[in-house]
Amino acid sequence: MQDEKKLPETQILPDKSVWRFAISMGVLVLLLLLLSVFSDDIRHILNPPPTKTTPANLAPTSLEKAINLSDEELKTYLIKFIEAFYVDQKKGYFDPPSYFSTITDTYYNYHHLTHRQLKTINRERRLAYQKQTLNWLEPTLSVDRRNDTLVVTYWTKQTYTRPNELVRVQADILMELKFTKYGKICSLKEIEVLNLISTPIPITTPPTTPSTTTLPTQESTAESTFEPPKPNQEAKINTLGIPDTSPQFKGGQKKLVRFLNKNLQYPTVAEEQGVEGKVFVYFVVETNGELSNFKVLRGIGAGCDEEALRVLRLSPNWQAGTLNGVEIRSSYVLPITFLLGN
The tens-digit pLDDT sequence of the chain (342 residues) is: 445 555 555 555 556 677 777 788 888 878 777 766 665 555 555 555 555 444 333 334 455 555 567 778 888 888 888 888 888 888 888 888 888 988 898 898 788 888 888 888 888 888 888 888 888 888 888 888 888 888 999 999 998 887 766 778 888 899 999 988 888 899 998 888 888 887 777 654 444 433 333 333 333 333 333 343 443 334 334 444 455 677 889 888 889 989 998 999 899 888 888 888 888 888 888 888 899 888 888 888 888 999 999 999 999 999 888 877 888 888 888 888 888 875
- Asked if the structure places residue 76 within a domain, the reply is yes
Q: Which residues pair with 146 in a beta bridge?
A: 149
3-state secondary structure of 142: strand
Q: Do 181 and 70 reside in the same domain of the chain?
A: yes
Q: How many domains does the chain have?
A: 2
Radius of gyration of the chain (CA): 36
3-state secondary structure of 233: coil
- CATH code of residue 96: 3.10.450.50
Determine the structural domain holding residue 223 and report its residue range.
216-342
Same domain, 312 and 267: yes
The reply to whether 22 falls in a domain is no
Amino acid at 205: T
Residues 152 and 229 both lie in one domain: no
Q: Which residues contact 38 (CB under 8 A, 6 or more apart)?
A: none
pTM confidence score: 0.50
Nearest CA among 205, 189, 200, 177 for reference residue 81: 177
Same domain, 197 and 316: no
